[in-house]
Structure formats: structure tokens, C-alpha cells
Structure 1
Amino acid sequence: MPGSIDAMVDLLASGDYLAGRPLATVLFLALKMQRPLFLEGEAGVGKTEIAKVLSKALDRPLIRLQCYEGLDIASAVYEWNYPAQMLEIRLSEAAGISDRDRLEHDIFSERYLIRRPVLQALQSQNGKAPVFLIDELDRTDEAFEAFLLEVLSDFQVTIPEFGTVRAETPPIVIVTSNRTREVHDALKRRCLYHWVDYPKAAEELEIIRRKVPGCNAALSAEIVAYVQKLRTIDLFKNPGVAETIDWATALTELDRLALDPETISDTLGTLLKYQDDIARIQGGEGQKLLAEVSAELKAAG
């Protein structure tokens, strides 16, 4: 575990994740205080990547619960192996076993329990508690969100037929939300909180340098300046860091050395994901942005 905030910055940097001091501080505190960390922000700003980098840098298994509408306990927490239970009941009946209490105890035992991500996260692997990523919690409903309160406050799950399963060592819990809906205050109170924003130009340029080392310096500067400009206009969905990396990779694969209107028009599908946004930028507005970027970079030398 990192012993200081600076060590946390270095640990994330070792996984090519550039974190500002506020984010490094709240991550450091989450580890020290053994509290879940709730990360909120626009899609594509790198919230999920934080859990992946922590898992790799700390050499801990990553357990991911990808949330979606309709997610239930059977898919997220646990379920019973019903076919195996029914077979056990039939075999017991054939053997003449009539002790119902014993039979119930047998079929609702660890042997027949199927562990889903939440239960897996409460179980250490090779003596190490995992990194538990609850990704895009805002996609689930409030009922499932309420179920997680016990997990996030006490690192335990109560199974009616089995009992309470507690973590010997609390996992490192990262909860993410794209804020498509508000998450209840009861859940947020159990977590430390941080808003993950889009990176500044210098930070995003360094990200491109690390993630797409084949992209030349001049093109990288143009890409970052163009994307930063895009985020200032009223698009349906602003490009995230992931899209910036994809665009830089695409242009590198095409052996482009500079941006031009035709190249931008041809490759917008790697940067923008909605047709209305693409149509808007392919028109005059895209060329206007490119002219502004060129002028600013030229003035900056």
C-alpha cells in the first residue's frame, strides 16, 4: 500500500494513469480508512480505469460488477445451484432419509452456493482482498442500490438460507456513476467521494504521449487542442479521454502527420458517437474549430 499521497501519485503513474493531487488524496484516504470510493463524472473520463490500475499496481485480483437496468441479486450476489439441490433431494428420498432439517442444512450449504461478483469480492484470494469495481451504478434501480448498503457499510451479505458472509479483509471498493440519475444519499454517505473531470490540455497531451507513443508531437498537440475545443460547444455527448486516445491511435495508423478537414471528416466516428454531433462537425463548425486550433498553436510557437 502507498505510504503517502505522493506515493499514490507514483503508483498510478506506474500504470500510465495521471492523477491530480485531489484524486490521489481521496484514493489514499479510501485505502487508509478502508472506505469505498464513489467516483462520479462524464462517461469516458477514466473512472473505470482507476480500478484497473489499482488492481495491477497493487497485484490484487479485479472483480467487476457491470451494472445495468434490471440487475438482480441472482446475477450480482449469489444464487443456489437448483439442479444439484434437486438431485440431492431425489437421492436422499431414494436412500430413505427423512430428516428434513438435516436435508435442508445439506442443500443450503457452501457446496451448492454459486458466488456472483459481490460474494466473490468478500472472499480474499491468495491472502489478498480484491479490488471490487461496481461500474455504472446509476444504471441500476433503487432497490438494488439499497441492497448494496450492507455491503458498503459492513462488507458483508446476509443470505436468508445460509447466514451472514463477512469479508475477513475488506476489499478495495470503487463505485462509478455517469450521473444518468442521482444516486441516493444513503449510499454516498458510506463512501468517500470524488468528481472525475475532463483533463486539462497539458494532462491530456501527456496521456496521449503515454498511451499512443507512435503519435508525433505536432499531431498530438493538434488532437488535444481540437478535442478541448469540442468540449466547449454544445454536443450531445462530449468526447472523453478514451475517445481522444482512439482518435490519436486511428490517425497514427493512417500515417497522418497533421489535421486537415478531410481527415477530420473521415475519422470522426472514432471521436464522436452520435450522428447529429458528427453531422454538425462535418459542416462549417468543424473547419472553424480547426482554424482556431491552428491559429492558437501557431501563436504559441
Structure 2
Amino acid sequence: MSDNRRVTSTASTRFTSVDEVCRALADVGYLASDAIATTAFLADRLGKPLLVEGPAGVGKTELAKAPPPATGSRLIRLQCYEGVDEARALYEWNHAKQLLRITAQGDGDGQWDALRHDIFSEEFLLARPLLQAVRSTDPVVLLVDELDKADVEIEGLLLEILGDFQVTVPELGTISATQRPFVVLTSNATRELSEALRRRCLFLHIDYPDADLEQQIIRQHVPDLDATLAESVVRLVGRLRDLRLRKSPSVAETVDWARTLIALGATELDEAVIRDNLGVLLKHQDDILRATKTLNL
């Protein structure tokens, strides 16, 4: 059954300037650097997917989650993992419902051809995140999170979507987006993504923020923390990130550390406070031992 549903998609821009991106994201709690705001603006203006790489915990996923409330869009998320397949990412057929239809209608003379077309129709199609984003008539932000954890076959599924914003369902034809979604792909760079996928995207590397921006983030999320103490927190986290650790503290863990100090009623970062609470910042015992030795705690 071939029902060609190709429709030319339109790229409706969400932001008019880089400054507007900064303001809109800040309004929903995301403090973007100039590089982040500029790249997000260009991805929106050019209608290109945005590939965001960087260490875990620097705000890659949060960057994708910020535009929906800022722009009135809907967030559709595909969380990648080893073994995620086409049925989980794109679409699958409702086999139980198809079987019920076959059983109810029977297989009399000349009925199978009509039945075969019937059970591979819209009624039996289960749209997964990628197809949901393409078919949506409302503004959508599509987040493909931690793409590097998925098998390379998933990248092949993405190529048609990222290049033409369309999906081909053999039984139904080609379904194209009427509204281009704003697409964000994140990767922790645990494996190299294909050049074909990279060519279709704008690229953004997010690293740990500089000291000034991280202090702003702390003040936003932990407003009760003294400014001098916030500066000490950022300085400590920076020293830990300079060590060769298995897992450096993320921005989220910096915020957790600031909240820890508030909960403890600490007014300064003394050795006892740092030593007794390193588990908030560091998640491996060998990292804690290395930090304790290096910081002479």
C-alpha cells in the first residue's frame, strides 16, 4: 500500500537574535555562554540539527530541555542506550491489534488481500519519538540524548530525518515534517559518530564553564549561599577538575555541593567539611583518595 505523504516542511524560527536566545534561556534557568547562545541561534535560524558534545554533566541535555518552555514548543525525547532499535526509535506495528483484526475478520475466499492492506494502515501504527517529531503539527524540540551509547545502525535511521526531515514507512510511503523540529543530539564522545551524521549538523562542544559563569549558575540555583563561599566552591571544584580523576565533578555536582554547605550551615570551606563530604562531588573511591592526598586533607 503506497500512500505518498511527502509535504514540504517549513522552518519556523523561534529566536530573532543571539541576545534573545540568552534572555529566553535565562528566563527558564539556563545560563548560556555566548558560544552556546550563538550556535543555538544559528541552528534555529538555518533549520539545522545541533550536535552537542562534551563531558557528562555540563548541561548538554538541559540545553535541549530549555527551549520548549521558552518557546512554547513540545519536547520529544529519544533516550539512547545499547540495543535501542528501530521499533523503539522510529515506529512499529501493533501486532496484538493486527492479530485481533485477523482473527475477527477471518480468512475467507478473497479476503486476505483486503485484510493485508487494512492491518498495515494508520490505525495499527505505533509512532515512536522520531516519527512523532516528524508528524507533529505543533512546534517540537526533538532531543536524541546520548547518541554515542546507541549502536551505529541508529545513526542510519537518523540520516533521512536529519537531512530531509522525513521518514519512509514502506507500507504507507514517505511522511515529511510540516513543521521542522528543532533537533538536538547529545554525545559524551564515548565512541566516534559518523561523518555522514556530523555533516548534517551544526556542532557545539560544551566544556565545563569558566569560573565566573559557574558562580552565576550557583547563585541562580542556591541564592542563599554567600558570594565569598560560592567563589571558594568554584575554586575547589576547579582544582578537582585539574586532577586526573575517573569522573570530574559536573556542574550539577557543584550545585549539589553548594546546597550541601547550606544544609550543614557551613560558613567556610575548612578541611573537615571538604574531607567529610567529598562524596557529594566525587563518585569513585579512588578519586576521593587521590583528592584527599593532593589537597592534604
The alignment's TM-score, normalised by the length of structure 1, stands at: 0.90
1:110-121 aligned at under 5 Å gives the runs 110-121=122-133
Question: In the aligned structure 2, how far is the partner of 1:25 from the partner of 1:208?
Answer: 23
| 2:172 aligned partner | 162
Q: Is the 8 A contact 1:35 1:173 kept in 2?
A: yes
Of residues 31, 39, 50, the one that matches 2:52 is 39
How well do the aligned residues superpose, as a CA RMSD in angstroms? 1.4
Unaligned runs of 5+ in 1: 289-301
1:67 aligns with 2:77: no
- Tell me the secondary structure at the aligned position of residue 263 of structure 1: helix
| 2:8 aligned partner | none
> Which structure's relative contact order is higher, taking Cα pairs within 8 Å and 6+ residues apart?
2
1:257 aligns with 2:257: no
- Tell me the secondary structure at the aligned position of residue 57 of structure 1: helix
Please report how far the alpha carbon of residue 221 of structure 1 lies from its aligned counterpart in structure 2 after TM superposition.
Answer: 1.2
Q: Is the 8 A contact 1:123 1:129 kept in 2?
A: no
Q: How many residues align?
A: 284
Question: In the aligned structure 1, how far is the partner of 2:45 from the partner of 2:84?
Answer: 31
Alignment deviations for residues 147-197 of structure 1 (CA, whole Å, 9 cap, x no partner): 210111111111222322221111000000001111111000000011111
Please report how far the alpha carbon of residue 286 of structure 1 lies from its aligned counterpart in structure 2 after TM superposition.
Answer: 2.6
1:87 aligns with 2:97: no
1:285 aligns with 2:294: yes
Alignment deviations for residues 1-38 of structure 1 (CA, whole Å, 9 cap, x no partner): 22111111111111222212222111111111111000
The structure 1 segments of at least 4 consecutive aligned residues displaced by more than 4 Å after TM superposition are none
Question: In the aligned structure 1, how far is the partner of 2:250 from the partner of 2:130?
Answer: 29
| 2:233 aligned partner | 223
- Tell me the secondary structure at the aligned position of residue 295 of structure 2: helix
**% identity of equivalent residues:** 49
1:86-105 aligned at under 5 Å gives the runs 86-93=99-106, 96=108, 98-105=110-117
- Tell me the secondary structure at the aligned position of residue 163 of structure 2: helix
Q: Which amino acid aligns with 1:108?
A: F
Please report how far the alpha carbon of residue 141 of structure 1 lies from its aligned counterpart in structure 2 after TM superposition.
Answer: 1.3
Question: In the aligned structure 2, how far is the partner of 1:6 from the partner of 1:113?
Answer: 42
Q: Is the 8 A contact 1:37 1:192 kept in 2?
A: yes
Q: Is the 8 A contact 1:158 1:164 kept in 2?
A: yes
Unaligned runs of 5+ in 2: 1-13
Q: Is the 8 A contact 1:23 1:194 kept in 2?
A: yes
1:14 aligns with 2:27: yes
Question: In the aligned structure 2, how far is the partner of 1:92 from the partner of 1:122?
Answer: 33
Alignment deviations for residues 88-138 of structure 1 (CA, whole Å, 9 cap, x no partner): 0011117x47332321121111111111111111132xx522100001111
1:240-255 aligned at under 5 Å gives the runs 240-255=250-265
Of residues 172, 187, 198, the one that matches 2:182 is 172
Question: In the aligned structure 2, how far is the partner of 1:208 from the partner of 1:98?
Answer: 70
The alignment's TM-score, normalised by the length of structure 2, stands at: 0.92
Question: In the aligned structure 2, how far is the partner of 1:200 from the partner of 1:179?
Answer: 21
1:109 aligns with 2:121: yes
Question: In the aligned structure 2, how far is the partner of 1:196 from the partner of 1:73?
Answer: 29
- Tell me the secondary structure at the aligned position of residue 193 of structure 2: coil
